[in-house]
Amino acid sequence: MSATTGIDTRRSPSAATVREKIPVVIVDEHSDFARIIANRVAELIREKNARGEKTVLGLPTGSTPIEIYRELMRMHKEEGLDFSNVVTFNLDEYYPMKPDSIHSFRRYMEENLFNGVNIKPENIHFPRGDVPREEVEAEAERYEQAIRDAGGIDFQILGIGQTGHIGFNEPGSGFESRTRVIALDTLTRRDAAPDFFGEHNVPLEAITMGVATIMEAKEIAILATGEHKAAIVKRAVEGQISPDVAATYLQKHPNATFYLDRAAAAELTRVATPWVVSEVTWDRELEIRALIWLSQTTGKSLLKLDALDYRQNHLSSLLSRYGEPGPLNGEVFNALLAKIRGKSRLPHGERIVVFSPHPDDDVISMGGMLNKLHENGNDIIVAYQTSGNIAVFDHEVARYLDFLRRIDRDFKLQDAEMLKLIDEIE
């Protein structure tokens, strides 16, 4: 662990990482691995530029790589990082999808990277989502050939979906698969629903690089953030290779690394249950975690855990600290009990600000707490962290503006202020 960056850079085999079948770097903050990856990309570009060679990058979309792209744009602007000899291939695109759609990955890349650096338009490649159905197979082969013509991908950045997909290689994708059209998994479409104003608007298919295409990259970085990715990360890193989870194929790559924030790494054995794979230095937080895990593993309540339970489940060292389980069982039980807050232990008569990413997140996540705070006479202010400017389709806005115009005309309202506002919006 670096004391200055908070980055866990342990990659060599050790007792703690014995169950991990692919190198893993764990960082404290999303911005940490964004900086690591951006620096690696910049290093590669500078090395290749110095030799007069092209740098070929494989790029993803989504929320996870945005900070990487911002850092690369900063490097271009402030440090002169030259993208004129960089060639890019994006992993995938929805099908069908027009390139100028607000939902297209081309538009995403233009807004989040390409418009902020000096990359040549002819060096930017996407699988086309606007070709007729009968031309899709030829488009896929064209894309594969373009990658070969560029000399292959030097550095491939990947995300990982909740189904374990890389690119859009959903469960069932084979190791030898190439660029093709694929039907999207229900969970994948559900995850994309907020960007499309509802799951029913998410395309049913996508064009994606295949597993074999991805595996031919010389170096691969796989990114994951957030606790919602923890389960599939564990499966990809510690599980058996299986077509059910395409990310497990990456275990076969000689130069692939997972970059995780602590939330995404939370279910890895060395993080979730480190006492199972190595000696640990016990503190109260770790003791509480261990006893909760032991209770769940044995199916017994905290106060009924006995010495045999400790010994049979890798917790002999913890038992030896206390001599017998009773005192620790009781302390952990009381510590958990103290976390339950009734109205009497909550603020009274205060002004409280709640930050909510979307207008329903507050009541979904803490509705009961909000009610208790209200009953205690607190002044509650909710700050919604979205403007709503893309909450509906443009054609829906146009339809309602037309409706207002008709109302003004038919009822002879002659509301000049409203008509002026309509003109400004249109």
Residue extents of the structural domains in the chain: 7-270, 275-337, 343-384, 394-425
Q: To the nearest whole number, what is the mean pLDDT of the chain?
A: 92
Longest dimension (CA), the chain: 87
E strand or H helix at 270: helix 269-272
Q: Which two tokens stand for residue 268?
A: 């890895």
Q: Give the pLDDT mean for 137-164.
A: 97
pLDDT of 10 over the 60 cut: no
Q: What is the pLDDT of residue 408?
A: 87
Please name the residues in contact with 33: beta carbons below 8 A apart, sequence gap of 6 or more: 7, 25, 27, 223, 259, 260, 261
Give me the amino acid identity at 173: S
Q: Give the pLDDT mean for 294-308.
A: 97
Tokens 């990259």: give the residue. 217
Tokens 């794979």: give the residue. 277
Assign residue 351 a region (left: φ > 0; alpha: ψ between -120 and 50; beta: otherwise).
beta
pLDDT grade, residue 389 (50/70/90)? low
pLDDT of 235 over the 90 cut: yes
Query: Which are the catalytic amino acids?
Result: 170
Give me the amino acid identity at 302: L
pLDDT grade, residue 270 (50/70/90)? very high
| Nearest Cα residue to 146 out of 93, 201, 103, 89 | 89
Tell me the whole-structure pTM to 2 decimals.
0.80
| Nearest Cα residue to 235 out of 246, 220, 221, 219 | 246
> Going along 274-338, which residue ranges are E strands?
none
What is the fold of 7-270?
Answer: Rossmann fold (3.40.50)
Residues in the chain: 426
